[in-house]
Structures are given as C-alpha cells and as structure tokens.
Amino acid sequence: MVGDALKGYAPVLAVWYLFHSHDLQVASGIAAVLGHDFPVYIRFHGGRGVATSFGVYAALAMPLAVGLVAVGIFIALALRYMSVMSMVTVPLGALVLLLLALFHVDSYTYSQTIFGAFATAFVIITHMGNIKRLIKGTEPKIGEGSERRRRRPGAEVT
C-alpha cells in the first residue's frame, strides 16, 4: 500500500519542485493513477487507484491526506468495509480540494480539483462490482475474506 501511495506522491512532488506548476502536478497525478489502474505490462489490469490517489492528495495537500487517512481508518473500523472507505474518502478529498480553491486558502487552485474529480470518477468506476455486492448484501467485510477464497476447493464455507 505504501508503494502504491508513493507512485502518486513522488511524481507529483517532483513535478512541483522542477516546474512549480499546479497544472503539471495534476497531469502527473492523473498519469500516476491511470498507470496504476491500467498498467501496460500486465495487459491493462491493475489496481483500483485508491492508495495512489492518496499519494497524490498527500503531494497536493499533506494535511488533507492525513485527515483522509484518519477518516478512512474510522470508516474501516466502524463499518468494516474497505470498499466503502475508498468510495467515501477519495470523493471527500475532492470536495475538500474544491472548498480550499473556492475560499482561496493558501495556494490551492481549481486545477487541483480536476485531480479530485478524476480520482473520484475512477474510484467509483473501479468499484462498480463492490457497489453491486453492497446493494445485494454480499460484500465481504474486513476479516471475512472474499467470495473467491470461500469458493476455493478444499476451503471451508461458513
């Protein structure tokens, strides 16, 4: 998870130090998430981009990322659904970036909200299966294991 977050954090921070451009930061953050979600070297089947998005959020606004991690931990402990944690915290980060830009807090710009909107869209798209399972009531909670593991030959079904 830390490696996935660094995939988003490192390029966005490097772009800032090299070019001092919020627009290029956003572009590199989007590229990092796209590269994580659709890697060429494994036939475009990658992850869901949540940790990478958190890394980008950390590079854009470290206090925001720390707050999102705290909210995420609370949601994961209270509800025990990692998918819900992902689908709440990433859009929440987008909303906070928008509010920071609207109220002209520090140097936050509307271009940074573009990343938040992009990350939100991709997290929702990549979690469509989870959304369907949540609606059906079949989404496994933390510690319950996945359907694939329960169906494995020789595995006990509880």
Give the span between the Cα atoms of 24 and 47, in whole angstroms.
23
pLDDT tens-place string over residues 13-65: 999 999 999 999 999 999 999 999 999 888 888 889 999 999 999 999 999 99
pLDDT tens-place string over residues 71-103: 999 999 999 999 999 999 999 999 999 999 999
Helix axes 82-102, 128-136, angle to 10 degrees: 120
- Residue of 45, 55, 41, 69 whose CA lies nearest to 7: 55
pTM for this predicted structure: 0.87
The structure tokens listed for 104 are: 């002209």
Cβ–Cβ < 8 Å for 83, 127: yes
Domain ranges of the chain: 2-145
